[in-house]
């Protein structure tokens, strides 16, 4: 029994650390770990995952807010979309077949992986040339003053930026909410991509702000699981403790890394996720079984 707790705890530390580095909640690591390694039913795994996603978000978010990398205003603005998406996600989930959604998500994640890979060297060039600062705030971004500055430790300088395309960005961010409502994840991958590739927010500010938003998105889904009685507190406790520790460590390391490294980790993770989602969709909808990666 003791070994089970320690095992859960260690897996959770890994998920929390990794999640904080790339701005995700770590649910995509916890759900497969709990079902494949710990043999828990998928619903219990998802419920435990969504609660521990809140834990990683709190630990990571706090560290980034203290380091002043988070753009709280941008986060609040996009939370309208992510919580709204979580609400719509729960509704669509009832009406639409799961495999269709898995395939759509898989395709979206692959697209974002490619976008992230293509821009992997662009990030520091854009910071150097002042391109993020030179962006013009447009439309709603101007009204809501979605601009910001953070200190980049790896580059040893302050980075200023202005948000662009706020409406397009929030539409994409709402998909992250849909994912949370449907699949029990934080949707950080999609939030980061929405900010970094669509809204011209530097990678590190995107990661920090994504972390900040995940807690609220995940709490919305967690309340539902909690009301429905799907949460096993004996599993949640060691997992949440572990992810909190891991996320605190990860968020300290993140600002010291070069964004090229973060982007590569992000790219590999999305390729893996995109594959798993498409494999799941094909197996559910058409009985085609692709070989598993894990």
- Shortest Cβ 230–another protein spacing (Å): 5
Q: Does 87 bind another protein (CB under 8 A)?
A: yes
Among 36, 42, 66, 261, binds another protein (CB under 8 A): 66
User: Do residues 275 and 43 make contact, with C-beta atoms less than 8 angstroms apart?
Assistant: no
- Shortest Cβ 246–another protein spacing (Å): 13
Q: Which string of b and e fits 21-59 if b means at least 16 CB within 10 Å?
A: bbbbbbbbbbbbbbbeebebeeebbbbbbbbbbbbbbbb
In a 13 Å sphere around the CA of 24, the CA atoms on its Cβ side amount to 28
CA 198/CA 83 separation, integer angstroms:
19
Among 13, 33, 59, 270, binds another protein (CB under 8 A): 59
User: Do residues 212 and 81 make contact, with C-beta atoms less than 8 angstroms apart?
Assistant: no
Interaction residues for another protein, span 179-238 (CB under 8 A): 212, 215-216, 218-224, 226-238
Interaction residues for another protein, span 107-166 (CB under 8 A): 143-145
- Shortest Cβ 58–another protein spacing (Å): 5
Among 14, 35, 62, 151, binds another protein (CB under 8 A): 62
Give the binding site for another protein (CB under 8 A). 1-2, 4-5, 40-41, 44, 47, 51, 54-55, 57-59, 61-62, 65-66, 68, 70, 72-73, 76-77, 79-80, 83-84, 86-87, 90-91, 94, 143-145, 212, 215-216, 218-224, 226-238, 240-241, 244
């Amino acid at each position: 029994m003791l070994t089970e707790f320690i095992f859960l705890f260690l897996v959770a530390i890994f998920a929390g650390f990794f999640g904080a580095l790339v701005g995700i909640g770590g649910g995509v690591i916890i759900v497969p770990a709990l079902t494949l390694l710990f043999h828990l039913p998928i619903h219990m795994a998802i419920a435990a995952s969504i609660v521990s996603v809140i834990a990683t978000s709190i630990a990571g978010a706090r560290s980034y807010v203290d380091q002043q990398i988070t753009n709280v205003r941008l986060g609040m603005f996009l939370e309208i979309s992510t919580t709204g998406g979580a609400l719509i996600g729960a509704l669509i989930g009832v009406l639409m077949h799961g495999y269709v959604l898995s395939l759509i998500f898989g395709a979206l994640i692959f697209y974002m992986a490619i976008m992230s890979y293509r821009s992997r060297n662009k990030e520091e060039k854009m910071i150097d040339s002042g391109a993020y600062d030179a962006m013009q705030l447009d439309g709603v971004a101007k009204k809501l003053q979605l601009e910001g500055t953070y200190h980049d430790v790896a580059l040893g300088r302050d980075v200023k930026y202005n948000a662009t395309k706020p409406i397009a960005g929030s539409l994409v961010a709402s998909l992250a909410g849909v994912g949370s409502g449907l699949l029990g994840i934080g949707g950080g991958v999609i939030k980061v991509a929405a900010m970094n590739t669509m809204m011209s927010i530097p990678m590190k500010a995107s990661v920090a702000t994504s972390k900040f938003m995940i807690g609220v998105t995940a709490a919305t889904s967690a309340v539902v699981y909690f009301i429905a009685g799907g949460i096993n507190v004996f599993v949640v406790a060691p997992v949440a403790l572990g992810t909190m520790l891991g996320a605190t460590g990860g968020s300290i390391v993140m600002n010291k890394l070069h964004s090229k490294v973060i982007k590569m980790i992000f790219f590999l993770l999305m390729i893996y996720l995109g594959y798993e989602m498409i494999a799941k969709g094909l197996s559910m909808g058409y009985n085609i079984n692709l070989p598993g990666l894990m």
